Amino acid sequence: MASSSLSAVLLLCLAVAASAQLSPTFYDTTCPNALATIKSAVTAAVNKENRMGASLLRLHFHDCFVQGCDASVLLSGMEQNAIPNVMSLRGFEVIDSIKAQLETMCKQTVSCADILTVAARDSVVALGGPSWTVPLGRRDSTNANEAAANNELPPPFFDLVNLTQSFGDKGFTVTDMVALSGAHTIGQAQCQNFRDRLYNETNINSGFATSLKANCPQPTGSGDRNLANLDVSTPYSFDNAYYSNLKSQKGLLHSDQVLFTGTGGGTDNTVNNFASNPAAFSSAFASAMVKMGNLSPLTGSQGQVRISCSKVN
């Protein structure tokens, strides 16, 4: 076995060993109201602004893909300045306010990384999506890595080979990757991330493209930050409409539409299955989210439980 595959296997074993230390009952005695507190704060935040569910879900993904689910993305500066994150990630204030509530209830007990993981689940539930049990006991990093955020978060111009590689590097199957992409059934993207698709791609529904062009003009620099819904049909429901959109060439991002070619592409069957079978999507999404939440957590005496999520103690 090549040494790179050996080290990948070793990394995976370490991740599995660490996640074995996580447990859904981790706070049952030390902070019994932690989960209820997070849930009610997330529900309130989503009721106030329905996009917030999407933003919290994405925060968790961008945390876990960069040195594991360790709340590194919440440290001010650093990863937050990486290209996929800057002027794009949102929801920090919701996590900060949950953390402040939990600090008054149970001092320095519930980690920011766990708050983010539970908040991602509760966001999906608040928008009508599936629920799952979240293993807990992650601790928070004392560092963050801007370069890793730039290298390891997939950009929207990736094709299927790049996406498969990017998720494969983290231990995900292609089916996991297609299921996780279904997170784009909620939330919004900026024109600069889908402009090329509107003006330079042919696998796009023409009515769909026309409807988006007015708010996303062709010249770079005009309307770059204007927003469009990732799911054109049901933007605030966590459902399987994302996959039906792909089948009608209404994926917003290049990286969405590459999942369905209609000509027997590698992930066409999975998209067909998730489009026609909401339960299959829900269950694949839930298990892939648990897998994502288990990416290299800090446990035991590693790292720390931050008092404020935006800075180390």
Residue 191 Cβ, how far from ligand HEM at the closest point, in Å?
8
How many Cβ atoms sit within 10 Å of the Cβ of residue 107? Answer: 11
Of 27 and 72, the one with the shorter C-beta distance to ligand HEM is 72
Please report, as ranges, the residues that interact with ligand HEM according to CB under 6 A: 51, 54-55, 57-58, 61, 88, 90, 154-156, 158, 163, 180-181, 183-184, 186-190, 193, 230, 253, 255
Of 103 and 268, the one with the shorter C-beta distance to ligand HEM is 268
Of 292 and 305, the one with the shorter C-beta distance to ligand HEM is 292
Token reading at 271: 């998209």
The residue from 62, 170, 195, 254 that is catalytic is: 62
Task: Collapse the DSSP code of 146 into the 3-class scheme (helix H, G, I; strand E, B; otherwise coil) and give the result.
Answer: helix
Is 62 an annotated catalytic residue? Answer: yes
Question: Does the annotation list 184 as a binding residue?
Answer: yes
The C-alpha atoms of residue 5 and residue 7 are separated, in whole angstroms, by 5
Of 27 and 238, the one with the shorter C-beta distance to ligand HEM is 238
Question: Does the annotation list 66 as a binding residue?
Answer: yes
Phi, psi of 298 (to 5 degrees): -85, 135
Residue 288 Cβ, how far from ligand HEM at the closest point, in Å?
8
The C-alpha atoms of residue 92 and residue 100 are separated, in whole angstroms, by 12
Please enumerate in sequence order all residues whose Cβ is within 8 A of that of 63, keeping only pairs 6 or more positions apart, or say none: 69, 70, 71, 72, 73, 74, 113, 116
In three-state form (DSSP H/G/I as H, E/B as E, the rest C), the secondary structure along 35-67 is: HHHHHHHHHHHHHHCCCHHHHHHHHHHHHHCCC
> Binding site membership for substrate: which residues?
154
Return the active site residues.
Answer: 62
Binding annotation for Ca(2+) = 63, 66, 68, 70, 72, 79, 185, 231, 234, 239
